[in-house]
Amino acid sequence: MPVDGVSRQHAATIVTELHGGSLDKFLATPAVKPGFFEVLLVRINDSWYRMFADEGVFFLSETRPFEALRELATVGGGVDLMEQLGWTNPTLLVQLSYREGVLVLATNSGSARLSDDRGLWRLAPYT
């Protein structure tokens, strides 16, 4: 259940309210399809945010910590994307945006692009 705070439901958006925040968790729930993820969870400035896409629309909502952890527990703790990307922990969030089916997270440790493929995320090369 979302809490009052930062949220988005758009086909294209830049989440400027979170820029400059300290990102210390970037986790994903794996999908049945190998190499894909269903839901992305990030912790920025001690607040958890849940992200997913559906029909080309990006959804972001602040969520309660216990709900984020419960969702991750159902999939064995999730996949640590910060570790996969080799980012330092914590890292400073420089950009969080979604446009034309691509989510961009840029930090002072590096950048990641995740493509929305029919509601599932996959890491895409950053160019």
Residue 127's pLDDT band (boundaries 50, 70, 90)? low
Q: Give the global pTM.
A: 0.90
Say if residue 125's pLDDT is above 80. no
Q: Are 42 and 48 in contact (CB under 8 A)?
A: yes
Q: Which positions ≥6 away from 92 have C-beta within 8 Å? A: 20, 21, 22, 23, 107, 108
Average pLDDT over residues 65-93: 92
pLDDT in tens, 14-71: 999 999 999 999 999 999 999 999 999 999 999 999 999 988 899 999 999 999 999 8
115 vs 125: which has the higher pLDDT: 115
